[in-house]
Amino acid sequence: MIKKIILSACLLISFVSLAQQGTASPYSFYGIGDVRFKGTLENRSMAGVSVEQDSIHLNVENPASYASLIQTTFTVGGTYGTSKIKTDSEKASATRSTFDYLLVGVPMGKFGAGFGLIPVSSVGYKIRQDNSDIEGGKNSQYEGKGGLNKVFLALAYKIKPNWNIGADMQYNFGKIETSGIEAITGVSNATREISTSTLSGANFNIGTMYQTKIYKKMELFTSLAYTFGSNLTSDSERTTEVDGETPKETDLGSSVLKLPNKLTIGAGVGEARKWLVGTTLAFQGNGQFENYYNTSEDVHYEKYAKYAIGGYYLPNYASFTSYFSRITYRAGFKYEKIGLVVNNESIKDVGFTLGAGFPITGSFSNVNFGIEYGKKGTVSANLVQENYINFSLSFSFNDKWFVKSKFN
């Protein structure tokens, strides 16, 4: 059954992921867009904390995690988000529905493998300037859409019962399209410019996870992952059109965007399948994301940093009498410097998360729900502040593969 579900979902989501507009943030104008959380809803509901060697939930933050799986796991997730966007003088609102991931993990004895599709970043903004009441005033409208996705293949190995190592290879691909229309009051002709950049490139990620008992049933969980820096090739073209004239197409050639290396460290304490409290720290170097259409003298990139704390509580996973005792309750808090500086102001993202995992009776499968509330940016320095709420839903199906049928 799970094989049929995976095939159908892959066909559907391969189209959705390329067509969706996954953000409404003005900050997605810069770089490769609004960089999204690249993990499952279970981890996102704990603000990104992902340190436990889970046997039935996937953890794509660290490729070493796949060696701990006991059943083949397929999971798919999506988000409905609302945001209030404001400056010191204006307000606006936006909604969006996005695909978050499609993932498969397969246990193979001491080995484990994983593969899937995850959106990396999204571009989605509309900016208007109306000076039509002024003779000779400029009226403009700018819009952007698209983003970057990745497919990956991971392999992990269990060196010891409590120690895993793993690596994955990722191929990044996507397209970013920006358009601008400018008109001057009193002048009949308007100028329209459409720019398209096709992105592609590969990178690698390695990781290790270790756990040990420290007191009676209490264990220490640790996680370490490193993503190597890599390049993205951007092939760009531009179409310029003036009312009444033939559109002019220009091949702008190729440029290279540099994705920096990233180090993620995590640790936590808890009792397996009962409770966990942990923290995750992530640090990333300066990226070089300037493309010809999104450069600005008032913008530069800095080192990325994330600090998160979160955990879960599961009253009694084996309860036969109370369904609510088998629900997993999750929560977390995050603080991020997203690596973007505008008007000398470092852009930050601060948020709280809540979530719950509902088991499907008679199986290891589950349905997960999460809420994320946060604030990105500031109204200081003539910038934009976003207050957002994201509602996320995921389905995780578990089954046994590669099991020989036995007949008496």
What CATH number should be reported for the domain holding residue 179?
A: 2.40.160.60
Q: What is the pLDDT of residue 188?
A: 58
Residue 405 lies inside a defined structural domain of this protein: no
Q: What is the pLDDT of residue 5?
A: 44
Of 235, 330, 349, 334, the C-alpha closest to 276 is: 330
Say how many domains are in the chain.
1
Q: 249 lies in which domain range?
A: 2-399
Residue 406 lies inside a defined structural domain of this protein: no
d(CA 175, CA 235): 9
d(CA 153, CA 204): 10
Distance of CA 66 to the CA centre of its chain: 19
Q: What is the pLDDT of residue 2?
A: 46
Q: What is the pLDDT of residue 12?
A: 44
Residue 321 lies inside a defined structural domain of this protein: yes
Distance of CA 48 to the CA centre of its chain: 10
Query: How does DSSP classify residue 263?
Result: E
Of 397, 315, 331, the C-alpha closest to 49 is: 331
Contacts of 115 (CB under 8 A, 6+ apart): 103, 104, 151, 152, 153, 154
Residue 407 lies inside a defined structural domain of this protein: no
Residue 142 lies inside a defined structural domain of this protein: yes
Q: What is the pLDDT of residue 20?
A: 52
Q: What is the pLDDT of residue 14?
A: 42
Residue 178 lies inside a defined structural domain of this protein: yes
Segments of the chain with pLDDT less than 50:
1-19, 403, 405, 407-408
Q: What is the pLDDT of residue 3?
A: 47
Total-model pTM: 0.88
Residue 23 lies inside a defined structural domain of this protein: yes
Give pLDDT tens digits for 127-157: 777 666 666 566 778 888 899 999 999 999 9
Q: What is the pLDDT of residue 253?
A: 85
Residue 374 lies inside a defined structural domain of this protein: yes
